[in-house]
Amino acid sequence: MSLLNYKTLCLVNPASANGRTRKAWLKTEQALAKRGIKLDVYFTKGPGDATIETRKALQNGYERIISVGGDGTLNEVANGFFDSNQQPINPEAGLSFIPMGTGGDFSRMFGLNSDLSTICRLLTDPRPYRCDLVLTTYTNWQGDPEKRILINEADVGLGCETVFRVNRNSKALGGFASFLLAFLVTMIVYRNLELVIKVDDETIYDGKTGVIVVGNGGYFGGGVKVAPDAKIDDGLLEIILAKDLKKMDLVLNLTNMYKGTHLKHPQVERMIGRKVEILSKDDIRFEMDGETPGHGSSILFEIMPDAITLLL
């Protein structure tokens, strides 16, 4: 396959990575032009714009959309492949992404980076991958029930609070350092939550929880290999549950978390399923694909098997 087989639109989030994405993309675009690669490009104007413009582009005949930014931008673009009822707009269209954001965690599943040689190959000779998605049901910040698709992961607990802190502050340090610093600061004030976890309608845990991750991809938090067994095409959710972990345990296992060897800890449990519901007596917020879109006393995740084609 070559670039010429697809009518392609690049959706660039200029605000991603503390504004560094705009500068990086302009340099990349110039370098691509010297190699005879010309692309249609749209710079997003704010939150939600990438979803709207992706839908417009697919309805207007574009066959491949390339997300340029971080995991949040990729989430918006992936949502744009579906209408408001989560029905595909063009099932034959493909999604590509160039990681230029803060985290870039989903791209780690494929070893992608923003080197020019990698981008040229992605544009001119992409490999197709079928990919599951996850339908999430929660309450948005306006107080209304909402459904949204995620492509990489979601979590409740310490990970979510870390992302919340990262997004409220400057990301000038880059992905790894921004997330690590936010994690260490958040850990000081964080208290484990009382949660009920249901997997495929069966209660599998009721008690104090440090973090629960629902994953399609394997990484979160700027490089933490949280779900090392994750596969994007197995029709299953990876559920990683860290129970009532003490803060010293978290510090001592920080290196293991980045390596993906934390599953050996007796307080960490791995499960798989097609549906996960997280319940709480109190209102809780959650994170998905690096953003915090809402909250609720019940947050539901359901696998969408074989939902989209990635061109990478």
Instruction: Mark whether 177 and 110 lie in a shared domain.
Output: no
* CATH number, domain containing residue 67: 3.40.50.10330
CA distance 93 to 89: 9
**238 membership: H or E segment, kind and range:** strand 237-242
Domain that holds residue 269: 134-307
What's the total number of domains in the chain?
Answer: 2
| Tokens standing for residue 294 | 């809402």
CA distance 40 to 50: 14
Residue 113 lies in a domain: yes
pLDDT at 1: 38
pTM (predicted TM-score): 0.93
Q: How does DSSP classify residue 39?
A: -
**The last residue of a domain, from among 108, 126, 144:** 126
How high does pLDDT run on average in the chain? Answer: 92
Radius of gyration over every alpha carbon of the chain, rounded to an integer in angstroms: 19
pLDDT tens-digit readout, 106-115: 999 999 999 9
pLDDT at 274: 98
Instruction: Mark whether 86 and 188 lie in a shared domain.
Output: no
- In the chain, % of residues over pLDDT 70: 96
DSSP collapsed to 3 states, 61-88:
CCCEEEEEECHHHHHHHHHHCECCCCCE
pLDDT tens-digit readout, 71-95: 999 999 999 999 999 999 999 999 9
CA distance 133 to 228: 18
What's the whole-number mean pLDDT along residues 51-75?
A: 97
Instruction: Mark whether 196 and 275 lie in a shared domain.
Output: yes
pLDDT tens-digit readout, 160-180: 888 878 777 655 556 667 777
187 — pLDDT class (breaks 50, 70, 90): confident
